[in-house]
Amino acid sequence: MITVKDITKTFGENDVLRGISAELKSGKNNLIIGGSGSGKTTLLKCIVGLHEPTKGQVFFDEQNFTDMNFEQRVPIRTHIGMLFQNSALFDSMNVEENIMFPLNLFTNMTKAEKLDRANFCLERVNLKGKNKLFPSELSGGMKKRVGIARAISMQPKYLFVDEPNSGLDPKTSILIDELISELTQEYNTTTVIVTHDMNSVMGIGDHIIFLYNGKKWWEGTNKEIAHTDNKELNDFVFASKFMQAAKAKL
């Protein structure tokens, strides 16, 4: 479980996050939603320590992560898997080397075992046999999937994914959602997903946090979201005519 206490983040004059508190439970898909520029990525980066919050604290299973120094954070970081919004694959390494990179750092596995693990992860994201391609030879959606494969290679306890579905076709998108959801339940992972995708919100949103104006504006489940009377959330989720029609039928 991850506990976020009163996180505030300011860039110069720009108050991006203004006192956000939340509990992100293990074994659940915790979704962070909100408009573009609402601070979703910033919140995610504050949680994992890539941005130091201006104020507030983050606890990983009761351990105060914010007050730790770099060395103290390393043991927790070995349990973190993260997919970045732009995939962030190492472009000097091929797909297989990218996935094996964390294994090389933190495990004593033999080369064959690491290769097996890499192949297993690639198979789960539907990229079997693409081992030797370099990031520059992949499409945007393929990069995302390799990014996911790298994030799950260590069987992380905490999984952070920033927009896993952007750039994917609807079918692959659902496949990725299902994969993340499966892993979350299988390994009791604390999964935090930043997304815009309403299919994901409705499909796997066990716990949804809606950011608006730098604050946690609404919190609930995908069942509750359809019946909420929160105006800003309704405007965000049911922005399209299609979604409004779908809501009317609910």
Ligand X SMILES: Nc1ncnc2c1ncn2[C@@H]1O[C@H](COP(=O)(O)OP(=O)(O)OP(=O)(O)O)[C@@H](O)[C@H]1O
Interface residue list for Mg ion (CB under 5 A): 41, 85
Contact 98, 114 (CB under 8 A): no
* CA 196 – CA 116 distance, rounded (Å): 34
Minimum Å gap between C-beta 201 and ligand X is 14
The item of Mg ion, another protein, ligand X, none sharing an interface with residue 242, based on CB under 5 to 8 Å by kind, is none
* CA 141 – CA 173 distance, rounded (Å): 9
Alpha carbon 184 to its chain's center = 12
Rank residues 152 and 201 by Cβ distance to another protein and give the closer one.
Answer: 152
Minimum Å gap between C-beta 166 and ligand X is 9
Minimum Å gap between C-beta 102 and another protein is 5
The item of ligand X, Mg ion, another protein, none sharing an interface with residue 25, based on CB under 5 to 8 Å by kind, is none
Rank residues 122 and 212 by Cβ distance to ligand X and give the closer one.
Answer: 212
DSSP string, 194-226: E---HHHHHHH-SEEEEEETTEEEEEE-HHHHT
Minimum Å gap between C-beta 192 and another protein is 13
Rank residues 45 and 130 by Cβ distance to Mg ion and give the closer one.
Answer: 45
Rank residues 104 and 199 by Cβ distance to ligand X and give the closer one.
Answer: 199
The item of ligand X, Mg ion, another protein, none sharing an interface with residue 164, based on CB under 5 to 8 Å by kind, is none
Rank residues 42 and 153 by Cβ distance to ligand X and give the closer one.
Answer: 42
- Continuous H helices in 93-158: 95-106, 111-124, 140-152
The item of Mg ion, another protein, ligand X, none sharing an interface with residue 112, based on CB under 5 to 8 Å by kind, is none
Residues that bind ligand X (CB under 6 A): 11, 14, 16, 34, 36-42, 85
* CA 183 – CA 14 distance, rounded (Å): 36
Copy the structure tokens of residue 76. Answer: 């927790």
* CA 169 – CA 175 distance, rounded (Å): 10
* CA 40 – CA 116 distance, rounded (Å): 34
Residues that bind another protein (CB under 8 A): 45, 48, 50, 70, 73-74, 77-78, 80, 82, 84-86, 88-91, 101-102, 105-106
Contact 124, 47 (CB under 8 A): no
Rank residues 9 and 130 by Cβ distance to ligand X and give the closer one.
Answer: 9
Minimum Å gap between C-beta 240 and another protein is 30
Minimum Å gap between C-beta 243 and ligand X is 18
22, containing H or E segment? strand 14-24
